Structure 1
Amino acid sequence: MMKLQYSDILGYDLLMVVCSSPDPGVLVRILAGCTTGAMAVSFAQPTDVVKVRFQAQVNLDGVARRYNGTMQAYRHIFQNEGLRGLWKGTLPNITRNALVNCTELVTYDLIKEAILKRNLLSDNLPCHFVSAFGAGFVTTVIASPVDVVKTRYMNSPPGQYKSAINCAWTMMTKEGPTAFYKGFVPSFLRLGSWNVVMFVTFEQIKRAMMVAKGRTEAPN
Structure 2
Amino acid sequence: MKKEDVPFSIIASLFTILFLFFINWMTTPEQLWAIYPALFLLFWPLNALFKFPNGHKWYSLCASILLICILLAINLVETPGYLWILYAWLPILYWPLVVFAGRLAAMPTFSVLASIFFLLYYVGLNIYFEPGFPWFIFPAFVILWWPMSVTFAKRPMLYSVFGALLVTLFFWNVNTLITPDVIWAVYPIFTVLWWPLTIYYFVYRRAV
Please classify the TM superposition score into its range, dividing by the shorter chain length. Answer: 0.3 to 0.5
Return the TM-score normalized by structure 1. Answer: 0.31
Higher relative contact order (CA 8 A, sep 6+): 1
Return the TM-score normalized by structure 2. Answer: 0.33
